[in-house]
């Protein structure tokens, strides 16, 4: 989330809960945590919170973090795509060559 979005979150909470004062110290403490979060997710949690609770939310109650991509899954998808472009005959030949290599290594006693 961007700094101005984090300020918007805090101002929104303050608008609904007048006793939630936005002191400089509070902003300084809360801001690093908010900046790591997802703005839309946090705002949705704030909106949900205000419909159910008479007291201002804690940061933990409204926290929402961006979805992180799994690099391994992305790499796996790239490999699958690359493999799908290889002909069945080529794949069959690769398997035969691998089996020959393994047989040779086993015969020679090399692990």
Q: For residue 68, what pLDDT band results from cuts at 50, 70 and 90?
A: confident
Top CATH class, 3-62: mainly alpha
More confident residue, 60 or 72: 60
For 105, half-sphere exposure in the C-beta direction (CA atoms, 13 angstrom radius) is: 8
| 21 Cβ neighbours under 8 A, 6+ residues apart | 14
Q: What is the pLDDT of residue 109?
A: 76
**What integer pLDDT is reported at residue 43 of this predicted model?**
97
| Of the listed ranges 2-6, 49-53, 71-75, the one predicted with least confidence | 71-75
Per-residue confidence (pLDDT) for residue 52, from 0 to 100:
96
- Range in 36-50, 52-66, 68-82 with the lowest mean pLDDT: 68-82
pLDDT tens-digit profile of 81-111?
A: 988 898 999 989 999 999 999 998 888 876 5
Task: Give CA separation, 99 vs 62, 92, 93, in Å.
Answer: 56, 11, 10
């Amino acid at each position: 989330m961007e700094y101005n979005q984090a300020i918007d979150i805090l101002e929104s909470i303050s608008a609904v809960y007048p006793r939630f004062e936005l002191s400089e110290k509070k902003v300084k403490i809360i801001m690093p945590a908010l900046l790591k979060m997802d703005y839309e997710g946090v705002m949705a949690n704030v909106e949900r919170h205000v419909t159910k609770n008479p007291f201002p939310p804690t940061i933990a109650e409204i926290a929402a973090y961006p979805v992180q991509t799994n690099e391994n899954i992305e790499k796996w998808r790239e490999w699958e795509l690359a493999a799908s472009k290889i002909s069945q005959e080529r794949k069959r030949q690769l398997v035969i060559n691998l089996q020959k290599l393994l047989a040779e290594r086993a015969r020679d006693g090399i692990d």
